Amino acid sequence: MSEPEEKNTIVQNISISDSVVMGNVEATAKVETISPRKKGEFEPVVMTTDRVTPAILGLLFLAGAGLMGTIAFGSLQVHFTDYPTENKEVAVAGFTTQGANITYEEYDQFVQEMRQENYFMIIGGLGGLAALGLAASALLFLNRRHPAAHVGMAANVLVILQAWWAGSVASVITADYVPEIANTYFLLGVFHALAAGCCFIFASSIVMTAAGRASLRPWGEPDMEILASILTPHRDDSEE
């Protein structure tokens, strides 16, 4: 016995005559006819989930995690081991080129005061936490999982706090040694905070919009698109 064939319906329009009160009027009726469909054939599943935005945010936050990790590592290294002499000489030469009047001894005293104020340690600690948060958010975004946006928002808040604190404190301490570049440190902190603020807005848009929330799946929910592609049998031309 042959396997039963699945049936699908095709709607056709035919004209029929009907008499209506004052004359004959042509009406149209729909008649369903049956045509065979091979067993195992399925209609393609159309998915409209936004996959691009989470991928872009994931790559953006991954780059941010690398940047913050580099800043954190360098700051902690300076706090515990101080700048090498060669780096201090290069920094003094750069300040002199910009028109600042500072000697090597003054710059060394400036660095030591920054270390005593735990400036580098606080920057390194906040930067390290922010880097871990951004990396976790990036991985969640790339896998389109909740709570990627919430983790990213929290990490960017840490970045904003770090940038604001670093810019304000550095500008105050620098003013006592190199007044000519005090505003430079402050503007760097402002720029850093603005960049983190933009990333915070990008992440919050995922939470605040229905399309953004739909683009991420709950942590324990399987990927239905991958599951559907695995379970859906592929059409075999040899069966035709």
Place of tokens 């599951």: 227
Assess whether pLDDT exceeds 80 at residue 13: no
Q: Rounded to two decimals, what is the model's pTM?
A: 0.70
How far, in Å, are 101, 112, 129, 179 from residue 109 at the CA level?
14, 5, 29, 15
Assess whether pLDDT exceeds 90 at residue 218: no
What is the band of 158 on the pLDDT scale with cuts at 50, 70, 90? very high
Evaluate whether 201 touches 212 at the Cβ level (below 8 Å).
no
Assess whether pLDDT exceeds 80 at residue 137: yes
Which residue has better confidence, 30 or 189? 189
Q: Which of 12-16, 22-26, 49-53, 127-131 has the highest mean pLDDT?
A: 127-131
Please compute the mean of the pLDDT values over residues 99-127 and round it to a whole number.
89
pLDDT at 163: 93
Please compute the mean of the pLDDT values over residues 41-62 and round it to a whole number.
74
| 3-state secondary structure at position 29 | strand
Assess whether pLDDT exceeds 80 at residue 224: no
Evaluate whether 224 touches 45 at the Cβ level (below 8 Å).
no
Q: Among 234, 107, 238, which Cα is nearest to 180's?
A: 107
Which neighbouring-strand residues pair with 28?
15
pLDDT at 238: 52
pLDDT at 176: 82
Angle of helix 52-81 versus helix 119-142 axis, rounded to 10 = 160
- Size (the chain), residues: 240
Distance CA 63, CA 57 (A): 10
Q: Among 210, 228, 179, 174, which Cα is nearest to 50's?
A: 210
Please compute the mean of the pLDDT values over residues 133-159 and round it to a whole number.
94
